Structures are given as structure tokens and as C-alpha cells.
Amino acid sequence: MKKIVLLVSVTIFSISIFAQQSEPEEERVTGFQKEKLFTGGDLTLAFYTGGTTLGVSPYLGYSLTKWLDAALSVNVIYQGQKDYSGIKYRQTNIGPGAFVRIFPVNFLYLQGQYEHNFINLRVIEPGVGTVAKGTTDVNSVLLGAGYSSGRSEGNNTYYYFSVLFDVAQQPNSPYVDAGRRMIPVVRAGFNIGLFQGRQRRERY
């Protein structure tokens, strides 16, 4: 896992340096700019042998540069698993998160996301019913890449699709299976640029 994290970190750092060097010189506007705010949300889907993960994550963010976005999010995730003996595990997760997206080009991005989920877990035994309940919390570090459709300079409204993996692989993570193997997490959603209408009219 450490090798994966190191490789992804080096890749993100290299792309960041390249993007900074290739960005043309222009007059910099300092201070908070409301046109750089954006909101949105995504649906999380993961299907694997014996289990399903479903979730929704609304967020609010800010474009730090032309190629770097950062946001705060809230996660609501449901996970159901069934082992070989027929025992069912039902897990509901709610918690805060934050992510960054790096865009080497407008239609492709790398994403790193941290989540801290508070978990309610229920174990159901066949013919018996609920045999155990519990609460806990877990950290997840999601890394991956995605595709965006419609993103351009002055327009931060677009559809997106991404595939992420929880490289932390903690027990009870909604993104690993019973053997603590990473599950591909497919997320799709809509990013909405705020206060951009006037900016686009002035530009064109």
C-alpha cells in the first residue's frame, strides 16, 4: 500500500509542476473571487461478489488555480454484504470529507480524497435475525482518476465520471471487501460553477 501511495503522490506532484510551468503568464487577481466557487454532488456505486455499496456525496468547493480544485464534502453511504455462510452485514456511513482534483487537461483529472465515516453496523444471521449491532468510525484515503465533459476556461459546470480506490484499506471501510481488498469505487455526478453567468457574458 505504501508503494501505491508513494507512486500516486509522485505522479500528482509531477503533474502539478508541469501544469504550473505550462500555464501562460498573465495578470494575477488576488483575494477571494466568488466566480471560483462551485458545488455539486456524486453518486457512488460499487458492486462485487456478495456485496453492494451505494452512496451520495454533495460538496462545495473553490478553484484554486485553472488546474486545481478543492472541496469539502459530506458522505452518506450504504453497504450490504453477505458471506459464504449466509450471514448478512448492513452498514450505514455518514461523515465529512475533502478532496482535490488536478486537471492536466480540461477533460481528465486526478483525484485524492480523504473521508472520515461514522458507521452503524448490523449483523443478520439466517433464520435468527439481528445478532449484533455496533458503531465505529473509519478513515479512508481514495485515489483515482476521472473524466469531465464540458469543463473549460471560465466554465466550471460539467458532468464527470471517476474510478477511485481506498488505499488505506482499513477494516470496516465501505470501500473494501471482507478480505480487506480494495473495491473499485465508481462515482458519477454534476459539477456546477457558481456566479459565472456574468463573467461569461463579459468575456464574450
Residue 139 lies in a domain: yes
User: What is the domain range of residue 167?
Assistant: 42-203
Confidence bin at 129 (pLDDT 50/70/90)? confident
Query: What number is the average pLDDT over the span 100-107?
Result: 95
Nearest to residue 166, comparing CAs of 116, 118, 121, 120?
116
What CATH number has the domain bearing residue 129?
Answer: 2.40.160.20
Residue 52 lies in a domain: yes
Cα separation, 180 vs 57, whole angstroms: 23
- Mean pLDDT across the chain: 82
pLDDT over 60 (residue 56): yes
Per DSSP, the residues of 142-196 read: EEEEEEEES-BTTB--EEEEEEEEETT--TT-TTB-TT-PBPPEEEEEEEEESS-
Confidence bin at 57 (pLDDT 50/70/90)? very high
Residue 149 lies in a domain: yes
Lowest mean pLDDT among 3-12, 46-55, 126-135, 141-150: 3-12
Q: Give the pTM.
A: 0.75
Residue 127 lies in a domain: yes
Residue 68 lies in a domain: yes
Bigger pLDDT: 24 or 34? 34
Q: How many residues does the chain have?
A: 204
Residue 151 lies in a domain: yes
What are the distances in angstroms from CA 124 to CA 1, 83, 93, 120, 146?
32, 11, 18, 13, 36
Number of domains forming the structure of the chain: 1
- Eight-state DSSP code of residue 2: H
Residue 124 lies in a domain: yes
pLDDT over 70 (residue 17): no
Confidence bin at 29 (pLDDT 50/70/90)? low
Residue 102, CB-side half-sphere exposure with 13 Å CA sphere: 19
Residue 23 lies in a domain: no
Bigger pLDDT: 14 or 185? 185
- Alpha carbon 140 to its chain centroid, in Å, reads 10
Q: Give the three cell numbers for residue 142.
A: 481514495
Residue ranges of E strands in the chain: 37-48, 51-63, 68-82, 88-105, 108-125, 129-149, 158-166, 185-193
